[in-house]
Amino acid sequence: MLGTYSIRINGADCGAEALLLAVITSIGGFLFGYDTGQISGMLLFSDFMKRFGQEHDDGTVYWKSIIKSLLVSLMSLGCLVGALSSSYTSDWFGRRKSMSIAVVVFVIGNIIQITAMESWVHMTIGRIIAGLGVGSLSVGVAVFQSETSPREIRGAVVASYQLMISLGILISNIVNYGVREIQESDSSWRVVIGLEMAFSLPLGIGILFVPESPRWLAGRDDWEGARLSLARLRGKKHDLDNAILEEDMQEMKALIDEENKAGQGTWAECFIPNSDIPKLVYRTFLGMAVQFLQQWTGYYGATIFQSAGIDDPIMVQLILGAVNVAMTVPGIYVTERQLAWKLFLTPFADDGISYSFGYVFAGMNFIAALITWFFLYETRTLSLENIDQMYSHPDLKAWNSAKWTPPGYKTRKERDEAYVHHIGNEGKSEKLAQSDSCAE
């Protein structure tokens, strides 16, 4: 069984199920990226414009800025509601079932889109419902990955979500490019949407076959289930008394005890300074800034390229998507090896300043880099409990956070070496025990 197999990564054991979990959950990022990329090209398809666009007096078809904006951007309204509701559904039903439910909602939204005939309102309603699913997944996947991934691969696993977003954008661009020859037919955009539903099924089904989040289980006093989940994620399903599992369990128990002492919080508390939770408002606005800037650093790509006079904007969008994927790969490497809402505004800006709106995206990328350097903490190799400790440090600055280490160690490197040494000794003990067993 997978729960008994492990792979040595960064000097420690990571269960095969942890890697399988990473692959399956990353599909959520792929769906987010695919949907982001598909609408950009579909807006230019002839049949799509004829059905859902508007006509001039001379019979030519065009997009009213307000309708174009609503068609694209109202999906973000669904995403917003889905993301907010995910914090409840994932607690009520568990991380895995919550994501499966989100996939079902997402598929329903896509079915509504495919059945749209000539009403842009019909299409928009479908996109809003699909957005509910995507928004829920965007939160659920990130939480699930961070709670289940062993610390040695957590950075790469969470970063792989961004890689899959980039890959999803690229695949949607490839599909858009492939069906552009039949853009006079409704098959063009319906194929694009239909494939998106197919891509979601491995996530909705596969997620039910991987371990539940040990932190969710522990939060419900199912400590036996939490230990078993951790053991499966380490590939030690038949070694529940493992020293590393015990260390992970103790860290998790300490954090949950602190959360229980604090009691149930409210949304308003995220914006109110609390001496019991240092830098709470800081963390809230930092998370909001990162997500906001991700949306502000590029969208409506094909439309902008068309405004710039490009003869084949879908091809240029495809090239951009390929570069996006290529540059995400080294980003994941750096994450592990080094210490370091879609906008309603865009169609109106495109009407006003055309392709020059691209300079706004460039500027936002620069701002994002500054915010990352000055406010985002380095979390490489740290457990979630250690990360909470680090952000709670009153005098620690983000640009120096790479030097911070958990209490009891002089440097983070020393802490890593001690951890790996501990794992190594444990591995030797296991081999010795196996050898003795064979000798007998």
Q: DSSP labels for 277-346?
A: STTHHHHHHHHHHHHHHHHHT---HHHHHHHTT-S-HHHHHHHHHHHHHHHHHHHHHHHHH------TTH
Of 403, 341, 401, give the one whose Cα is nearest residue 134: 341
Residue at 327 is within a domain = no
Compute the C-alpha angle 82/115/124, nearest 5°.
Answer: 40
Question: What is the 8-class DSSP label of residue 63?
Answer: -
Q: How far apart are CA 192 and CA 98, in angstroms?
A: 26
pLDDT at 303: 57
Compute the C-alpha angle 139/142/143, nearest 5°.
Answer: 85
Residue with tokens 């829920």: 136
Residues 86/140, Cβ–Cβ less than 8 Å: yes
| CA pseudo-torsion sign 47, 53, 58, 59 | positive
Is residue 184 exposed (0-12), middle (13-18) or buried (19+ Cβ within 10 Å)? exposed
Over the range 143-165, which residues count as b (16 or more CB within 10 Å of their CB) and which as e? bbbbbbbbbbbbbbbbbbbbbbb
Compute the C-alpha angle 31/36/38, nearest 5°.
Answer: 90
Report how many domains make up the chain: 1
Q: SS3 for 14?
A: strand
Spans in the chain with pLDDT lower than 70: 1-13, 152, 262-265, 294-314, 316-317, 320-321, 324-325, 327-340, 342-358, 409-440
Q: SS3 for 404?
A: coil
Residue at 423 is within a domain = yes
| Residue 223, φ and ψ in degrees, nearest 5 | -70, -30
Residue at 15 is within a domain = no
* Strand duo 61-62 + 6-9: pairing: unpaired
Q: SS3 for 47?
A: helix
Of 193, 169, 191, give the one whose Cα is nearest residue 182: 191
Amino acid at 352: G
Of 205, 206, 229, 207, give the one whose Cα is nearest residue 216: 229
Residue at 38 is within a domain = no
pLDDT at 9: 60
Q: How far apart are CA 313 and CA 124, in angstroms?
A: 24
pLDDT at 231: 87
Q: SS3 for 266?
A: coil
pLDDT at 411: 65
Residues 17/3, Cβ–Cβ less than 8 Å: yes
Q: How far apart are CA 127 and CA 346, in angstroms?
A: 18
Q: SS3 for 268?
A: helix
Residue at 424 is within a domain = yes
Residue at 58 is within a domain = no
* Strand duo 12-15 + 6-9: pairing: antiparallel
Residue at 216 is within a domain = no
pLDDT at 420: 54
Q: How far apart are CA 383 and CA 96, in angstroms?
A: 21
| CA pseudo-torsion sign 55, 61, 63, 67 | positive
What is the span of the domain harbouring residue 421? 405-439
DSSP string, 158-223: HHHHHHHHHHHHHHHHHHHHHHGGGTTSTHHHHHHHHHHHHHHHHHHHHGGGSPPPHHHHHHTT-H
pLDDT at 268: 80
Residue at 315 is within a domain = no
| CA pseudo-torsion sign 402, 405, 406, 412 | positive
* Segment holding 116, helix H or strand E: none
pTM (predicted TM-score):
0.71
Q: Which residues contact 395 (CB under 8 A, 6 or more apart)?
A: none
Of 376, 424, 426, give the one whose Cα is nearest residue 402: 376
Residues 252/263, Cβ–Cβ less than 8 Å: no
